[in-house]
């Protein structure tokens, strides 16, 4: 965590002291790691993410001229926009995520007063740990407080999802924004993505801990096959609904129902996508029950089966993530491992005995570097609280 006084000093260097006399306020929203339940969120199914202690900080000073000035410690320059003229511009890069949030507030009929915002984050970009949702949620929670808006965290998560869907152009589900907003330290969140029913699941792992491994294979989801996978699932659910009219989404399709209608899904690619989603929903529920019962061995096995399904059926892993998966499984003390996030690069999450973590990092690094030429980065995965204002 950066020192808040240092962030405030950096803000002043970037934006000056100003003449509003307004106090600088600091907000935070975490990234997330999804423990299991991948590519089930946009199909209305179950996911089991946990908020991280990594995330995005925003130092904010209100304005009264309805202008926004945005800057980041990770990128040069400033982006300046009028509150009434928020449009997507590719040249603005990262700033399109907060701009999407402004746009959604505009569509609600709000007249935003404007503010200066300095962003600082420690989530690896393009790693699949939801840096974009973190930026969106820290912007949303800041505006809620700065503008005294009456919106719940779930309202803000839905707004941030719309920003990414409609403004940025990525058809993500609700999981990332929900986990960033609603995370709770020491817990994962079991979320049903179509109804937003949720409950907290204690992460009591005994002698084991979660280790995130960044493949350092960068990817951009808006340029990947993510939207194509979503379209394939939508085509599949249309076929299902023609034969089972009562089914609203894939997330509500039971294994028995799938066995009944799968013969109608004749396109091999669509069949594989649906087969993954339906079994992944079952794995997510089974994993939750295993965690709640303290059965860490079973939880690890569900992680492995999830990755294999994402590799063979949903086809979103790629050589880098698959190599990390193979190398991790060869380490004594690793109970389970899988890709996390949308795939096509990014990270794996592994369940590793605390005494084996050092060996895990060494062996995975040697094997992965030898096969890919890339060097992985490791993060210890502690669950944290969701989006909030920081008062110290």
Q: Which residues contact 78 (CB under 8 A, 6 or more apart)?
A: 14, 69, 70, 71
Is residue 136 a contact partner of residue 172, using CB atoms and an 8 Å limit? no
Domains with residue ranges and CATH for the chain: 4-202+384-390 (3.30.230.10), 208-380 (3.30.70.890)
Instruction: Report pLDDT for 23.
Output: 85
d(CA 243, CA 194): 21
CA-based nearest residue to 314, from 15, 42, 130, 30:
42
Instruction: Report pLDDT for 1.
Output: 54
Active site (catalytic) residues: 176
Instruction: Report pLDDT for 123.
Output: 86
Residues of the chain with pLDDT under 50: 222
d(CA 62, CA 370): 51
d(CA 254, CA 248): 12
Partner residues linked to 261 by β-bridges = none
Instruction: Report pLDDT for 224.
Output: 63
Task: Return phi, psi of residue 114, to 5°.
Answer: 95, 160
Instruction: Report pLDDT for 20.
Output: 59
Rounded to two decimals, what is the model's pTM? Answer: 0.93
* SS3 category, 254: coil
Instruction: Report pLDDT for 129.
Output: 76
Is residue 383 a contact partner of residue 35, using CB atoms and an 8 Å limit? no
């Amino acid at each position: 965590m950066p020192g808040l006084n240092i962030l405030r000093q950096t803000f002043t260097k970037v934006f000056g002291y100003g003449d509003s006399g307004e106090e600088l306020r600091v907000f935070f929203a975490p990234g997330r790691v999804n423990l299991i339940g991948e590519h089930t969120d946009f199909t209305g199914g179950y996911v089991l993410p946990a908020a991280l202690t990594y995330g995005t900080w925003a130092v904010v000073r209100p304005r009264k001229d309805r202008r926004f000035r945005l800057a980041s410690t990770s990128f040069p320059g400033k982006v300046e926009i009028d509150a009434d003229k928020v449009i997507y511009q590719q040249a603005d890069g990262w700033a399109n995520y907060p701009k999407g949030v402004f746009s959604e507030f505009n569509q609600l009929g709000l007249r935003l007063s404007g503010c200066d915002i300095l962003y600082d984050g420690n989530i690896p970009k393009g790693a699949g740990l939801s840096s974009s949702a973190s930026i969106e949620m820290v912007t949303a929670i800041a505006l809620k407080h700065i503008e005294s808006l009456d919106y719940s965290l779930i309202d803000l998560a839905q707004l941030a999802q719309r920003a990414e869907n409609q403004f940025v152009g990525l058809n993500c589900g609700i999981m990332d924004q929900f986990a960033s907003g609603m995370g709770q330290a020491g817990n994962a969140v079991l979320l049903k993505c179509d109804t937003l029913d949720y409950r907290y699941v204690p992460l009591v792992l005994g002698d084991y801990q979660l280790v995130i491994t960044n493949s350092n294979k960068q990817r951009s989801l808006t340029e990947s096959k993510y939207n194509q996978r979503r379209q394939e699932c939508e085509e599949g659910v249309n076929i299902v609904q023609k034969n089972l009219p009562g089914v609203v989404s894939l997330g509500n399709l039971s294994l028995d129902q799938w066995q009944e209608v799968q013969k109608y899904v004749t396109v091999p690619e669509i069949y594989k996508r649906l087969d993954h989603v339906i079994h992944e929903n079952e794995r997510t529920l089974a994993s939750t029950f295993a965690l709640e019962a303290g059965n860490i061995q079973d939880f690890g096995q569900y992680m492995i089966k999830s990755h294999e399904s994402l590799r063979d059926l949903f086809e979103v892993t790629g050589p880098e993530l698959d190599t990390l998966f193979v190398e991790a499984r060869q380490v004594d003390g690793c109970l389970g491992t899988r890709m996390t996030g949308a795939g096509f690069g990014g990270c794996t999450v592994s369940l590793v005995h605390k005494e084996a973590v050092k060996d895990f990092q060494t062996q995975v690094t040697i094997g992965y570097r030898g096969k890919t030429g890339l060097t992985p980065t490791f993060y210890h995965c502690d669950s944290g609280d969701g989006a909030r204002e920081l008062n110290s």
